[in-house]
Structure 1
């Protein structure tokens, strides 16, 4: 379980860092991109990814 959370976080960080169109143009991400702008959404997703990684490291299941 922890590995899955860490991998989700790494995936989120990687996609936001590389600025993939398929990731940022997803229908679930569009409102956030519209609200924060593309770079703001990238920063938000990087922060969320870091939080996932930290949760995966520190939460024991």
Structure 2
């Protein structure tokens, strides 16, 4: 696996950590973005936090699995 693949997997982990942190800490500016507004309309603020927390966990899992098994 080349350096670019490692870089992409590390980016996955970093973005996952960011999303998970924003969901746990309920960061206001993060949930005022247009992308988050869509999920807030669908699920409410608490549901959007759960969605972004799960998304963060999935990104972290994909990054770690990629690093371990590739």
Q: Under a length normalisation based on structure 2, what TM-score does the superposition of the two structures give?
A: 0.81
The CA RMSD over aligned residues, in Å, is: 1.1
Relative to its length, the structure with more helix (as a share) is 2
Cα deviations across residues 1-57 of structure 1 (Å, max 9, x unaligned)? 211110000000001111111101101110110110000000000000000000001
Structure 1 or 2, whichever has the larger Rg, is 2
Q: Under a length normalisation based on structure 1, what TM-score does the superposition of the two structures give?
A: 0.92
Q: Which runs of 5+ in 1 are unaligned?
A: none
Q: Which runs of 5+ in 2 are unaligned?
A: 1-7
Counterpart in the other structure of 2:34: 27
Bigger relative contact order, structure 1 or 2 (CA pairs below 8 A, ≥6 apart):
1
Give the paired residue count: 61
